[in-house]
Every structure is written in C-alpha cells, then in structure tokens.
Amino acid sequence: MKKIEIVHNPDVSGLRAMNIFSWPIWQKEVSEFPWSYDEQETCYLLEGDVIVTPDEGEPVRFGKGDLVIFPVGLSCRWNILKDVKKHYHFG
C-alpha cells in the first residue's frame, strides 16, 4: 500500500524550486468527508490542522507549513480540525 508522505517544515528554497507558490489555492472550513485520489496530489499547507485516515492504514496528522504528497489510488477520510488553506498540484 502506498503511504501519504509528509515533509514537516520543508526548506523554502526547495518549495520555490518546485514553483509551489504559483499553484492554485484550495480552502476548506472545519469538516469531515471521504476523498479518493485518481492522480497524485502534492500540497503545501499555508494554514490548517488535518487528520487523514486511509481506508486501509493508520491516521496521519499534518498542518501549517507541511508539504504533503497523496499517492494515486488512495481512498481516505479527511478530518479538518482547523480551517485549511493550501497550494495544490495534481499529477
């Protein structure tokens, strides 16, 4: 099973090299919902606190300042504990 990758407080120069700050922004209020990934998503959280629980796996927690990579084929449940604002990219 592919796992969610989390890089806590990544180096800003690396983020700039990935052009993250030009990616679209997604925002979501405190909520809980199921989600599945048809393609890989990479995101960088500007705000928020989240627990994502894969259908087959252990919960992972991440938040403001984290770079997160969700693998293609992942089905999970998002639990947003603090409003999220993130840059994101699919593919």
List the CATH number of the domain containing 31. 2.60.120.10
pLDDT of residue 59: 97
pLDDT at 18 over 80: yes
| % of residues, the chain, pLDDT over 90 | 97
* Range(s) of the domain holding residue 29: 5-90
Residue 14 phi, psi (nearest 5): -65, -40
pLDDT at 23 over 80: yes
Query: What is the domain count for the chain?
Result: 1
Q: How far apart are CA 60 and CA 13, in angstroms?
A: 25
pLDDT at 2 over 90: no
Once rounded to an integer, what is the mean pLDDT over residues 42-46?
98
Q: 38 forms bridges with which residues in the sheet?
A: none
pLDDT of residue 1: 63
